[in-house]
Structure 1
Amino acid sequence: MNSRLAFALLAAWAALLGGANARADTGKLLLTGGVSTVEGTAGGGLTPWAVVGSNATEGEVGASAYLTTVGTGDYGLNIYGAAIGIHDRYELSIAQQDFNTRDTGKALGLPGLHLKQSIVGAKVRMLGDAVLDSDTLMPQVAVGVQFKQLGSTGLDATLEALGAKRHGTDFYVSATKLLLGRGLLLNGTLRATKANQNGLLGFGATLGGDESSYRLQPELSAAYLVSKNIAVGAEYRFMRNRLETAGRAAGLGNGLRSSDWKDVFIAWAPNKNVSLTLAWVDLGVIVPATTGSRRQTGYYLSAQAAF
């Protein structure tokens, strides 16, 4: 299915469920369903958690939609998406990313270059319940898959020369432990991926050696509930750096090097249907050949509506 059509259908369903109320707006405790990640699934801002998006609990169907903007010294990223939560066990999500290359595009002779990626995801809760098992050692565990498609741009020939594809699939498993009495949430995710810079620079790279196989990348999150509707926390997402090898073979030195992503965030939920997230992000270096190896630090701002 065309990604834009899929998004339109999912967003329409979300609006329909929201309008009908679906009896899911009285379900989960505030912030225990996470927020929407940059890839559309429920979790922190940068990494998925084992929780299922929306306010739906067992026997309910709910939906969420969100808008996110990220700005660093040299780049901008805008994201919108939606998700459906079914019986607090299944989640379907979709996200559209628009990465503004700004001066990097100009340096490449491609002024106004935007990298656009569509992501369709599915998640299934396999074990545990974050809230009901909060007084035990059992975490909530979920497995997920994300299908990613990078839109056609002026970089197609470059990616092809590097041996990078414009589509890929990520697989992950997440374990989320909520210590409700202490107001603490811990999450660990292990992702199998071929993505370069989350897929914004394609998937894999065969130039200079076979770098197209999957790699396992851990992702860590921690959040503390300051009050019932405010949480603060941090995330660390290990990123593949396989494109650098292809860049060296192409004579670019470390010009395509990438590094880990991280953030420190605060999330506020004034009610069960709305949440706002503000974060300081560090996306490491992105195409340092054109940015003087500057670290891409800046802001992350996201608004989510859930039912």
Structure 2
Amino acid sequence: MPLLLAVPLACAAQAQGKLLLTGGVSSIDGAAGGGLSPWALTGSYATSGQTGATAYFTRLPVQDYSLSGYGASVAFGERAEVSLARQDFNASATGAALGLPGLRLKQTILGAKIRLAGDAVLDADTWMPQVALGVEYKHLDSGGLAPTLDALGARRSGIDVYLSASKLFLAQSTLVNVTLRATRANQNGLLGFGGSASRSYSLAPEVSVAYLLSRQWAVGVEYRMKPDKLNPSVLGDALREDDWKDVFVAWAPNKHVSLTAAYVDLGRVVPGLQPRRQRGVYGSIQFAY
């Protein structure tokens, strides 16, 4: 989630490679940026003419579920990025209550991002943000939940398209990112895509703000709005989606590893054991080259 927010020698950094955290971290979908949302930045420390790579592992336990994710990305300079992510959503307790013991939902995400304009560091003294266009192809292995998703009209695969703008404010040691996502995903795709209530795309904004405490530490917040394709359904409003949000802290002791922790609120993720909010502590480790 963090990015280096003060680069007094930007041109020298370009010649010697990126400085700490200038590639952000891996989002839950594999793209570089924040934990919940992609940014316009490319991952790793590759600059013009270089190729870099990252790998990550993420764990998020909440009251009734747990989510594990891992993946890797390759960045081609600061121009483009491709990523591959795998998510494993453990809903065993809820599945048992539904007559589906051991229920796990697994999702594979293939992503690509290309920078369209701007440079977050070199344009820091102007109002021009770095802008990137991204696409994510998602495929869900729904296991025993497949008949339920069929009844709801949800498909097993879908494509998200997003436009991100990242603006670095050097004097304030702050980075702001705004992403606009076109999506049909239910709970980020873990409950399929679209439904009998709506099969059209929705535009969902996502906002991230990061503040640099020191060269190696950053804190911030994220807010990700969600579509609501399964509401109403045969279950009434029980599948209504809530927005996601988090408060995070990140630490990068060197260029090759970074650690991120966050308090995450996913809202109600139904069908849970109770109609309660799903909150937990998110942890992620990323290795970069």
TM-score strictly above 0.5: yes
Distance in 1 of aligned mates of 2:161 and 2:31: 13
Letter in 2 for 1:241: D
Deviation at 1:293, TM superposition (A): 1.2
CA distance in 1, matches of 2:219, 2:260: 10
- Structure 1 SS opposite 2:148: helix
Once the two structures are superposed, residues 232-273 of structure 1 have per-residue CA deviations (whole angstroms, 9 ceiling, x without a partner) of 000000011221212xxx1x2222121000000001000011
Deviations 1:143-175 (A, max 9, x none): 000000001411111111111000000000000
**Number of positions where the alignment pairs a residue of Structure 1 with one of Structure 2:** 276
* Residue matched to 2:230: 243
Which of 278, 294, 303 aligns to 2:276? It is 294
Does the Cα contact within 8 Å between 1:255 and 1:290 map onto a contact in 2? Answer: no
Structure 1 partner of 2:141: 151
Secondary structure in structure 1 of the residue aligned to 2:238: coil
Calculate percent identity across the aligned residue pairs: 59
SS in structure 2 of the partner of residue 135 of structure 1: coil
Q: Deviations over 1:8-53 (max 9, x none)?
A: xxxxxxxxxxxxxxxx9x6212112110000000000000000001
**Residue 304 (1) aligns with residue 286 (2):** yes
Instruction: Give the corresponding residue for 2:168.
Output: 178
In 1, Cα distance between the equivalents of 2:242 and 2:282? 18
Could you tell me how far apart the structure 1 residues matched to 2:205 and 2:211 are? 21
What displacement does 1:182 show?
Answer: 2.1
* Aligned AA (1:39): D
The answer for the alignment partner of 2:181 in structure 1 is 191
Runs of 4+ in structure 1 deviating by more than 6 angstroms, as ranges, are none
Given candidates 214, 223, 231, the residue that maps to 2:210 is 223
Question: How large is the Cα RMSD of the aligned pairs?
Answer: 1.3
Q: Is the 8 A contact 1:34 1:44 kept in 2?
A: yes
In the alignment, which residue of structure 1 is the partner of 2:257? 274
Q: Give the superposition deviation at 1:180.
A: 2.3
**1:218-241 residue CA offsets vs partner (Å, 9 max, x unmatched):** 000000000011100000000112
How far, CA to CA, are the matches of 2:20 and 2:77 in structure 1? Answer: 17
Amino acid at match of 1:299: V
Q: Any conservation in 2 of the 1:68–1:302 contact (CA below 8 Å)?
A: yes
CA distance in 2, matches of 1:152, 1:239: 20
Aligned to 1:256: 239
Matched ranges for 1:1-307 at <5 A = 27-206=17-196, 209=197, 211-246=198-233, 250=234, 252-287=235-270, 289-307=271-289
Give the Cα separation in 1 of the matches to 2:24 and 2:49: 19
Instruction: Select the structure that is richer in helix.
Output: 1
Q: Please, which runs of 5 or more residues in structure 1 have no aligned partner?
A: 1-23
Secondary structure at the counterpart of residue 110 of structure 1: coil
Take 1:152 and 1:265, find their aligned partners in 2: how far apart are those partners?
A: 30
What whole-Å deviation, never above 9, does each CA across 1:66-93 have from its counterpart, x for those lacking one? 0000011111000000000002110000
Give the aligned residue type for 1:166: R
Query: Unmatched 5+ residue regions in structure 2?
Result: 1-13
C-alpha contact 2:114 2:133 (8 A) present in aligned 1: yes
Distance 1:149 1:265, change over 3 A: same
Task: Tell me the SS of whatever aligns to 2:232.
Answer: helix
Question: AA paired with 1:212?
Answer: R
CA apart distance, 1:181: 3.0
Q: Secondary structure at the match of 2:211?
A: strand
